Structure 1
Amino acid sequence: MNPAARKIQSVYLTLTLGNTLAASFIWGINTLFLLDAGLSNLEAFAANAFFTAGMVVFEVPTGVVADGWGRRVSFLLGTVTLAGSTYLYFLLWQLSAPFLWWAVVSVLLGLGFTFFSGAVEAWLVDALRFTGYEGGLETVLGRGQMVSGAAMLAGSVAGGVIAQATNLGVPFLIRVGVLLAMFVVAFLLMHDVGFTPERSAHPLKATRAVLDASIENGLKNPPVRYVMLAAPFSAGVGIYVFYALQPYLLQLFGDPRAYSVAGLAAAIVAGAQVVGGWLAPRIRRLVRKRTTVLILSGVVSASILVVLGFTNVFWVALALLTFWAMVDSAATPVRQAYVNDMIPSKQRATVLSFDSLMGSSGGVVVQPLLGRAADVYGYSASLAISGVIELIAVPFLLASRRQGSLADQANAAIITSETEPRQS
């Protein structure tokens, strides 16, 4: 890796570290926070569903912002929006507000995250290509996931311990402070490199043009389309499982106020992300096609969730959770590299945002349904059901594999704005 590419990687890792640290302060206690505010299981997961609904609604518009105004602008807007909406969450908890207000602010939280999704990854890929980096994307994305996992490990454990020592609201205030600090860091270090925003005197016309091109290179591109169609099932289940594990493990542990145990669940997922990020490029050297990794990951992850649903022993559940998170994390950089190598630079952020939208749309439906299943049948049964739902993603991944995209190979051709995106 040349010095210019190494500098880009350093900025990317810094942004990833700060963003994940800020977010993870509440990841270990978010469901407990909502329940403590007086919401039922159905209402708590419905609030999470409104969060993902906000991501569905705003994913493409904020992706257009990133492609039309710049990835740096999108990141800065994200830090401010997320900080403000997180503080509103804290106020709702203090006031024991009715569910309607939780739904509204959850949508705003979703808006904040959509400014990040697509923009940071697109910024990284374009900047690396501009600096002449010719290595596999799995290596850099895997390092990003390792940094993200380490930050999540520190933040989630700290959030649980701080909540137990003080109250459930303090980690939310800490998140606000870290996000404001990240605004300053991004303002100083993050600059669009290898990408020029297509500003236009007719913003609506420019937005339509970017969106049309994104659909052309996304849903109308068969290998990309099938990966996107798998996302509602895999990502939707992943969102539910992550948050359901907090009360589930507390239930197995036998102490509903052991918030540090809830933080431990998030910490294990974080540690698995570090290992998964390290494994991703090494696994890629062992298999010929990226879709092999994705398909096997989907089958194994779903199987683990089904087994986890029939587990009543706390330590066994922790071990299964660790394995589940590790399998899922090892596949994530491979999926990111596969998709990025099939889309052009000019619409990269919007296509990636549309991909995120597909995953979020699954969360909108899956979370309240599985939350209701947890109310009626218990958390164990809802986890087993989630494993069955995740299996639905596998046929779509098989369909993507059958398209024969060059990006599926070990030495994929990199797609640029001047090359033809279809490789079937």
Structure 2
Amino acid sequence: MTPDPRASRRVIRTYLVTQALFTLAASMIWGINTLFLMDAGLDIFQVMLVNAAFTAGSLVFEVPTGVIADTVGRKVSFMFGIGTLFVSTLLYVGTARYGWGIGAFAGASVLLGLGYTFQTGAVDAWLVDALDATGYEPPKERVFGWGGATFSTAMLVGTLAGGALGQIDLALPYVVRSAILAVCMVVTAVMMRDMGFEPRPLKVSTFGEETRKLLRTGVTYGWGHPVVRPLLLVSGVSGVFMMYSFYSLQRYALDLLGRELVWVIGVLTAAASLAGIMGNLLAGRVMGTGEARRRAAPVLAVAQLVLAVLIAVMAAVGLLTRQPGIVPFALVGVLWLAWGVLFGFAGPIRQAYLNEQIPSEQRATVLSLDAFFGDAGACVGQPGLGWLSKAVSIPAAWAVGSVLLLAGFPLYRAAGKGEGTAEATRPGEVG
């Protein structure tokens, strides 16, 4: 195929603009969500149960929504996701305002999970298919790196704005989020169109068969693939800790500081976004191109090992701190920023590495399966580590999380060893 640079730039621009708006909207509440729920009367364990309801919803709907992305189209799936997040965000506000309780929060969280599953897999699959259709030739982790930097920049703005608005009223970031989602819906409708993918009709009568077919696809090109299988397991073990860590950090940091300054959490989350941008931009440079290009699996294995060590040290700070103050808070803050750089660095490399293993027709399904494993881990981790946080302490739960992250090191090594087998196996005969 003859490369079309203008078309490729248009695809990349659409990807970055829509992801910026979506992330800006989503991140308005990320720095204050735990504080919002606790202000509504929940304790830390109940907060993690509500968050677990979100991941349970993601777990249940991940594959069925993948059917929509792989049949009706990636754009339609993404727009369904935006609309669902709009409704569920307003339900959060209503639940807090009228005191509907933990059950209503959990229900709204399940709906949030549904919204995100429409987006996971579909957008990445749209990008890769569209770039392939325009003859884009450079390594795709460059684009994923730009996407990661855009994500982190939008998150920086969103969390800072959310923290500032939350200092006035913890419900304000949710209202603003809904407004930005409405804008994102319009922009997506205008800018995005499916390329390199042929949509096909989806009927209610055939939905079950389509789901079963995609599940078989997931087994063949996902679990049955010698490289993808370890990557799925990394998502699972990392998922046990990752979602819990993000939301528990809000409470953990304020406990170390000894003061209830909501805006500080917004600043810390925003600073982590900047750190993520640095990591995103480093990914392409470190990996290289052509004959000098590094293999992804060893790089990811080392990154996972260092991530686990950083979390262990952050846990140790909390376990050894006897008096809250600026010193333990600052130490954990610096470690969290280092973690953000490394996490931002590894993300685009992993995205490109996983996409390289999957044929176009099965891409959205296998990417949804990867998200499914992460959701499954989070379903276990949030209530489990949330209970440990309440029964013992948050830093104790972080110490357990660091051990879980260590499991990713041998799994990435196993993925690297499976590359030769994958190359020697024809499509349809994996595993």
TM class by shorter chain equals over 0.9
Secondary structure of 1:222's partner?
Answer: coil
- Work out whether 1:304 is the aligned partner of 2:310: yes
- Work out whether 1:316 is the aligned partner of 2:331: yes
- Work out whether 1:48 is the aligned partner of 2:48: no
- Work out whether 1:103 is the aligned partner of 2:109: no
How well do the aligned residues superpose, as a CA RMSD in angstroms? Answer: 1.9
Q: Which stretch of structure 1 is more off in the superposition, 167-176 or 391-400?
A: 391-400
Amino acid at match of 1:385: V
Residue 304 of structure 1 contacts residue 320 of structure 1 at CA under 8 Å; is this kept in 2? yes
What are the superposed Cα offsets for residues 87-137 of structure 1, whole Å, 9 maximum, x if unpaired?
001111112332222211111110000000000000000000000001111
How many positions carry a matched residue from both structures? 414
What are the superposed Cα offsets for residues 155-188 of structure 1, whole Å, 9 maximum, x if unpaired?
0011001110x21001001111111111100111
Q: Which residue of 2 aligns with 1:155?
A: 158
Query: In 1, distance between residues paired with 2:211 and 2:71?
Result: 8
What are the superposed Cα offsets for residues 269-295 of structure 1, whole Å, 9 maximum, x if unpaired?
211221111011112127631011211
Shift in Å, 1:211: 2.9
Secondary structure of 2:419's partner?
Answer: coil
Q: Which residue of 2 aligns with 1:270?
A: 273
Query: TM (normalized to structure 1)?
Result: 0.94
- Aligned pairs (5 A) from 1:73-88: 73-88=76-91
Secondary structure of 2:360's partner?
Answer: coil
- Work out whether 1:9 is the aligned partner of 2:16: no
Flag the 1:406–1:143 CA change in 2: closer, same or farther, 3 A: farther
Flag the 1:254–1:22 CA change in 2: closer, same or farther, 3 A: same
Q: Which residue of 2 aligns with 1:72?
A: 75
Flag the 1:5–1:405 CA change in 2: closer, same or farther, 3 A: farther
What are the superposed Cα offsets for residues 210-261 of structure 1, whole Å, 9 maximum, x if unpaired?
33223211111121011101111113311111111111111112212x1111
Residue 226 of structure 2 contacts residue 419 of structure 2 at CA under 8 Å; is this kept in 1? no
Query: In 1, distance between residues paired with 2:249 and 2:117?
Result: 24
Residue 240 of structure 2 contacts residue 401 of structure 2 at CA under 8 Å; is this kept in 1? no
Candidates 114, 126, 130, aligned match of 2:129: 126
- Work out whether 1:261 is the aligned partner of 2:276: no
- Aligned pairs (5 A) from 1:26-45: 26-45=29-48
Flag the 1:40–1:200 CA change in 2: closer, same or farther, 3 A: closer
Residue 31 of structure 1 contacts residue 44 of structure 1 at CA under 8 Å; is this kept in 2? yes
Q: Which stretch of structure 1 is more off in the superposition, 371-380 or 101-110?
A: 371-380
* Unaligned ranges ≥5, structure 1: none
Flag the 1:200–1:34 CA change in 2: closer, same or farther, 3 A: closer
Q: Which residue of 2 aligns with 1:295?
A: 301
Q: Which residue of 2 aligns with 1:245?
A: 249
- Aligned pairs (5 A) from 1:150-189: 150-164=153-167, 166-189=168-191
Query: In 1, distance between residues paired with 2:60 and 2:272?
Result: 28
Query: In 1, distance between residues paired with 2:105 and 2:353?
Result: 37
Residue 279 of structure 1 contacts residue 330 of structure 1 at CA under 8 Å; is this kept in 2? yes
* Unaligned ranges ≥5, structure 2: 322-327
Query: In 1, distance between residues paired with 2:218 and 2:242?
Result: 26
What are the superposed Cα offsets for residues 365-388 of structure 1, whole Å, 9 maximum, x if unpaired?
011111112112222222122111
Secondary structure of 1:309's partner?
Answer: helix
